[in-house]
Amino acid sequence: AQSVTQLDSQVPVFEEAPVELRCNYSSSVSVYLFWYVQYPNQGLQLLLKYLSGSTLVKGINGFEAEFNKSQTSFHLRKPSVHISDTAEYFCAVRSSNTGKLIFGQGTTLQVKP
């Protein structure tokens, strides 16, 4: 069975500092990995995705993630965060059979001025 673990429930960081949100997955088959962001009172927006190819994936809003097969991780990073990055971030793995997404519990990124 596939599963996703987000290792931090909350990450506080100061504005313009770098940040890393950690995600580990469990899967016995080929993986397709995603990071979504949810701003308050809004739906989920795709930040980036890994389907195949280069293990370093660049997404929107300056975010990037690195797929590490040996460590079964897909950590999200941004070199300099803004107040507007304050949101909930979800890591997800897509089921290879059905296409459904299996989400982690989410990480709240709190950017302080």
80 is a contact residue toward another protein (CB under 8 A): no
Nearer to another protein, 11 or 101 (CB): 101
What's the token pair of residue 11? 């990450």
Please state the φ and ψ torsions of residue 101, each to the nearest 5 degrees: -100, 135
3-state secondary structure of 84: helix
The window from 21-29, 41-49, 52-60, 71-79 that contacts another protein (CB under 8 A) reads 41-49
Among 44, 59, 77, 86, the residue binding another protein under the rule CB under 8 A is 44
C-alpha 59/C-alpha 4 separation (Å) is: 20
Nearer to another protein, 78 or 104 (CB): 104
